[in-house]
Structure 1
Amino acid sequence: MKSPLPNDIKYFDYNATHPPFSEILETCLASYLSGFYNPSGITRYSLKNQGKIEQTRKYFANLTKGQEKQFVFSATGTEANYLLIQSLKVLYPNLDSVIVSPFEHSSLYAALESFGFFPDLIETDKTGIISLTDLKEKLKSNPRPVICLYAGNETGVIQPAEEIQKLTKEFGQLFYSDLMQGFGKVDLSFELFDGFTFSGHKIGAGMGAALTYLPKVHNNFRIFGGGNQENDHRAGTENTFAIESFRQVAEFQLSQLGEKNKRLLTYRSLIEKKMEELGCQIIAKNSERLPNTTFLILPIQAVDFFLLGMEERGLLVSTGSSCKSRAREASKSLLHMGYTKEEALRSIRISTGYFTTEEDVTALLSVAQELIEKFQ
């Protein structure tokens, strides 16, 4: 597959958005342009598009060994997470709190607040792994559903999903997981989760399609109504182009997974070895992590100038923090792990993916050395 990135850009922010697989998306776009009909219509042309959506739903059901009717397509990962949390409100109308990891995407905490749930956060430490002891105590004292993402958006740390699942089943509780960073990057045992979400743009399928797997078939699972799309779970015309792209890119990514991860692990080792030599601290270095993710603390205070310097040289990395009105906030993940605010504000995330080359990595490390030495 040919990279869509221009020659003067070396991209290291795959955890935010994977660059699109242009050849696949162009094929899907051509299909859409010649068959743009509303999938909710009654003509045979519309029914053909509805058939494409159901074919994709069946693909994901077969892939995950889930039930087709429990999959709902939406427009974004945020919407997918909201639908997942809404299902808890339907199943447990009197529930006022759930047990949650301290590493979730902000959309999930916002969804919990929106539906009236207090997040009882699980303890953690500098490993970036939740405390199973604390989780068990919380389940023992007040059994409730558990929400824990599979892989950290920032740290890339993979949580002990099998152990979490065993504990939730011991206490008869549901286990939900945000799989946004895990899907298409590592092998997943979907049967561990009662509900989960993932999104197309995280794997290179472009924006516009995400999935929620609901814990059961229930007529009242929906964020908003007004139409009978998605088996009455989501009002709104489906994005047939994005949904078809989602399936085709997922098929391609999963077919390349083993070979790709060998390469990305090599790149991660090169990056971390050099950055440690330059005085950086690798977050959760000894924990199981995604092969593509390095989260580190720079040995300099001028992080913004470092990032600007990288961008001026065509190298795109990201901070480990939320950006609001250009004012950075300390990474909440790092604060929960026991790092100081000052350390958290010096963190950056380097994430690689399918189109990353050794030449890109060499350029990254050369410019990083130059800038760190300049600002020390």
Structure 2
Amino acid sequence: MQRIYMDANATTPLLPEVFEAMRPFYLEHYGNASSIHQQGQQARSAVDRAREHVAGLLHCRPAEVVFTSGGTESDNLALFGVLAKGDHLITTAIEHHAVLHAAQSLEARGIEVTILPVTPAGIVEPTELLAALRPNTRLVSVMYANNETGVIQPIDALAGIAHAGGALFHTDAVQAAGKLPLDVSPHGFLKDVDLLTLSGHKIHAPKGVGALYVRRSVQLSPMFHGGSHERQRRAGTENVPGIVGLGKAAEVATAWLKNDGPASLACLRDRLEQGILSLIEETGVNGAGVSRVGNTTNIYFDHVEAEALLIALDLKGLSVSGGSACQSGASEPSHVLIAMGLSAARSRASIRFSLSKLTTQAEIDQALQLVPAAVAHLRELSPAYNKKTLAVTV
């Protein structure tokens, strides 16, 4: 059975060219990037090149890129690195738990926290942020593209409001990187973003590596204490192979963005989405009607439990998700969908399809055969659906 992978928001496969770039730094160029001998300087040069490629993706200075172990660490470093007791943090109800749980921990340490609501479409209204600002607001953290729905936030407007109020602005761009242009330069549309999170394994780099963009004017307190790595912002021996992989993936993503890759991917997503909605009754898109990242669709299937549908599709060779991979197996409905006003039942009936640049039209067509058949079978087993159908027939 040939498997079809449509869970790219959970993780992406390593690109062959990324693996080839990494391989020598496992087997041949294994030096510590802090060592002054030849092997160490080979590693240092590789880290520096990778930093330049990540900076190229973001349109920032290489010195503003801090390498980390991934998106969770980058989010935590952004929050813990700038906030102190008595400060005020504003974030939203739809953030990844790397931000929400960090906010809970900060609140226990004396930081005031405000959680902004979202509209039924999943958008943070700029007026809500404006009303929440206080004199002691130090940081506003709003994700760029939501990991469950793909909904894109008006980051430029929100960051501008934060700056006007004297606050710093952080965005978790884990699901936006490699799918949307990112320009934090002084003349870019993200010019008011001070901190930005990236994760390697969401852009076809390996797991265990990420980055945090830190505008050079921002004073960042390290979470780890040890050596003077990353300009004293993140202690610890550099993960050279992982960093090289992230740099290569950033280079590939930069070229893909320039070559109209996102538009092509969005066409595949739209084909899948429209096909499902036309073939299956009582379905709908969570986050419809607003801008969404081009690889993601989150669809509810009334009278079906998402967990059962996931299993049924997996047995047929189609890998999809019920939401954030970090919450896989959780009994509670998605906090993102609940924040958007969905009922618990509809939240539990929602499936996320997330494509990658490796997804093909043939895979979309195959999915459009598998999904309707699986939904129809599960609805046949649903007493509520059969009762409704019987009532309509009578």
- Which TM-score applies when normalising by structure 1? 0.91
Following superposition of structure 1 onto structure 2, how do residues 160-175 of structure 1 map, counting pairs within 5 Å?
Answer: 160-175=154-169
> Retained in 1: the 8 A contact 2:298–2:353?
yes
| Cα distance in 1 for residues equivalent to 2:360 and 2:169 | 37
1:15 aligned counterpart, secondary structure: coil
Following superposition of structure 1 onto structure 2, how do residues 342-353 of structure 1 map, counting pairs within 5 Å?
Answer: 342-353=345-356
Larger displacement relative to structure 2 (229-238 or 254-263): 254-263
Q: Which amino acid aligns with 2:302?
A: P
2:357 aligned counterpart, secondary structure: coil
Q: What residue in structure 1 maps to residue 382 of structure 2? A: none
| Cα distance in 1 for residues equivalent to 2:328 and 2:198 | 27
Match of 2:286 among 283, 293, 308: 283
> Retained in 1: the 8 A contact 2:163–2:192?
no
> Retained in 1: the 8 A contact 2:25–2:240?
no
CA displacement at 1:323 relative to structure 2: 6.5
Change over 3 Å in CA distance of 1:13–1:363 after alignment to 2 = same
Following superposition of structure 1 onto structure 2, how do residues 162-241 of structure 1 map, counting pairs within 5 Å?
Answer: 162-190=156-184, 191-216=191-216, 221-241=221-241
CA displacement at 1:220 relative to structure 2: 5.9
1:247 aligned counterpart, secondary structure: helix
Change over 3 Å in CA distance of 1:136–1:220 after alignment to 2 = closer
| Cα distance in 2 for residues equivalent to 1:308 and 1:62 | 40
| Structure 2 unaligned spans of 5+ | 185-190, 380-394
Change over 3 Å in CA distance of 1:23–1:335 after alignment to 2 = same
Q: Which amino acid aligns with 1:195?
A: L
Following superposition of structure 1 onto structure 2, how do residues 350-369 of structure 1 map, counting pairs within 5 Å?
Answer: 350-369=353-372
2:147 aligned counterpart, secondary structure: coil
| Cα distance in 1 for residues equivalent to 2:12 and 2:55 | 23
Alignment of 1:310 with 2:313, yes or no, is: yes
Alignment of 1:259 with 2:260, yes or no, is: yes
CA displacement at 1:14 relative to structure 2: 0.6
Change over 3 Å in CA distance of 1:327–1:169 after alignment to 2 = closer
- Which TM-score applies when normalising by structure 2? 0.87
| Cα distance in 2 for residues equivalent to 1:182 and 1:318 | 18
Larger displacement relative to structure 2 (135-144 or 276-285): 135-144
> Retained in 1: the 8 A contact 2:222–2:234?
yes
- Alignment length (residue pairs): 367
Change over 3 Å in CA distance of 1:99–1:141 after alignment to 2 = same
CA displacement at 1:302 relative to structure 2: 3.1
| Cα distance in 1 for residues equivalent to 2:38 and 2:150 | 45
| Cα distance in 2 for residues equivalent to 1:273 and 1:325 | 26
| Cα distance in 2 for residues equivalent to 1:337 and 1:67 | 37
| Cα distance in 1 for residues equivalent to 2:56 and 2:306 | 45
| Cα distance in 2 for residues equivalent to 1:343 and 1:290 | 22
Q: What residue in structure 2 maps to residue 250 of structure 1? A: 250
Match of 1:337 among 340, 364, 376: 340
| Cα distance in 2 for residues equivalent to 1:327 and 1:215 | 36
| Structure 1 unaligned spans of 5+ | 1-6
Q: What residue in structure 2 maps to residue 20 of structure 1? A: 14
| Cα distance in 1 for residues equivalent to 2:324 and 2:25 | 39
Q: Deviation digits for residues 292-327 of structure 1, max 9, x if unmatched?
A: 000111123332221111111110000025676834
Q: What residue in structure 1 maps to residue 146 of structure 2? A: 152
Q: What residue in structure 1 maps to residue 383 of structure 2? A: none
Q: What residue in structure 2 maps to residue 3 of structure 1? A: none
Larger displacement relative to structure 2 (49-58 or 127-136): 49-58
Change over 3 Å in CA distance of 1:63–1:24 after alignment to 2 = closer
> Retained in 2: the 8 A contact 1:307–1:317?
yes
Larger displacement relative to structure 2 (254-263 or 198-207): 254-263
2:133 aligned counterpart, secondary structure: helix
> Retained in 1: the 8 A contact 2:57–2:250?
no
Alignment of 1:97 with 2:88, yes or no, is: yes
Change over 3 Å in CA distance of 1:328–1:231 after alignment to 2 = same
Following superposition of structure 1 onto structure 2, how do residues 134-145 of structure 1 map, counting pairs within 5 Å?
Answer: 134-139=128-133, 143-145=137-139
CA displacement at 1:27 relative to structure 2: 3.5
CA displacement at 1:59 relative to structure 2: 3.2
Larger displacement relative to structure 2 (44-53 or 316-325): 316-325
> Retained in 1: the 8 A contact 2:145–2:152?
yes
CA displacement at 1:118 relative to structure 2: 4.2
Q: What residue in structure 1 maps to residue 40 of structure 2? A: 46
> What is the aligned-residue RMSD (CA, Å)?
2.1
Change over 3 Å in CA distance of 1:58–1:24 after alignment to 2 = closer
> Retained in 1: the 8 A contact 2:197–2:212?
yes
Larger displacement relative to structure 2 (139-148 or 227-236): 139-148
Match of 2:300 among 287, 293, 297: 297
| Cα distance in 2 for residues equivalent to 1:235 and 1:221 | 11
Change over 3 Å in CA distance of 1:220–1:31 after alignment to 2 = closer
Q: Which amino acid aligns with 1:309?
A: A
| Cα distance in 1 for residues equivalent to 2:219 and 2:142 | 25
> Retained in 2: the 8 A contact 1:199–1:211?
yes
Change over 3 Å in CA distance of 1:215–1:128 after alignment to 2 = same
1:281 aligned counterpart, secondary structure: strand
> Retained in 2: the 8 A contact 1:320–1:344?
no
Q: Which amino acid aligns with 2:30?
A: F
CA displacement at 1:144 relative to structure 2: 4.1
CA displacement at 1:122 relative to structure 2: 1.4
2:212 aligned counterpart, secondary structure: strand
| Cα distance in 2 for residues equivalent to 1:340 and 1:256 | 38
Q: Which amino acid aligns with 1:170?
A: A
| Cα distance in 2 for residues equivalent to 1:38 and 1:12 | 37
Alignment of 1:107 with 2:98, yes or no, is: yes
| Cα distance in 2 for residues equivalent to 1:309 and 1:63 | 39
Change over 3 Å in CA distance of 1:329–1:110 after alignment to 2 = same
